[in-house]
């Protein structure tokens, strides 16, 4: 099963593999470093939670499919509201910088995720 998931990942376009491995996952996983900051636990729960949901989906689907966009849409969309609310607060400079980076990365991801969610809801259920 793990080999099937790996092979599916490797069938994704190279730019998607790079985006996921070196930008999307690390930036969202870094949220646990700020867990003691204001709303940091909620932020980490949402940032990492969407990725954990995708772990389950990968196991069920035995690979990558457009359904993996759905947890991002459902969890990261309200997370952006939390980030905007936090940015209006008095925050440590490093946390503020991280929030801006997280917001930028997840906005890009969500643009792609909304497109993939629409495709999945329209019947595009193939595994990469």
- The per-residue pLDDT of the chain, averaged, comes to 97
CB 59 within 8 A of CB 1: yes
Domain coverage including residue 21: 2-121
Phi and psi dihedrals of 120, rounded to 5? -65, -45
Query: Between the CA of residue 11 and those of 40, 51, 55, 59, 103, what are the distances in Å?
Result: 35, 20, 17, 17, 28
Domain for residue 116, yes or no? Answer: yes
**Domains identified in the chain, total number:** 1
Does residue 63 sit within a domain? yes
Answer whether residue 126 is part of any domain.
Answer: no
Would you say residue 127 lies in a domain? no
- Residue 7 falls within a domain, yes or no? yes
pLDDT in tens, 46-75: 999 999 999 999 999 999 999 999 999 999
- How far apart are alpha carbons 69 and 61 in whole angstroms? 13
pLDDT at residue 128 is higher than 90? no
Residue 45 pLDDT: 98
């Amino acid at each position: 099963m793990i080999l099937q998931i790996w092979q599916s990942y490797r069938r994704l376009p190279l730019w998607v593999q790079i985006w996921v491995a070196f930008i999307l996952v690390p930036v969202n996983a870094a949220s646990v470093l700020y867990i003691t900051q204001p709303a940091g636990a909620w932020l980490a729960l949402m940032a990492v939670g969407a990725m954990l949901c995708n772990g389950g989906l990968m196991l069920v689907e035995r690979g990558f499919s457009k359904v993996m966009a759905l947890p991002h849409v459902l969890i990261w969309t309200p997370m952006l509201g939390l980030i905007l609310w936090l940015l209006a607060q008095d925050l440590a400079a490093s946390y503020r910088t991280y929030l801006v980076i997280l917001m930028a990365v997840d906005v890009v991801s969500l643009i792609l995720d909304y497109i993939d969610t629409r495709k999945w809801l329209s019947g595009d259920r193939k595994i990469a």
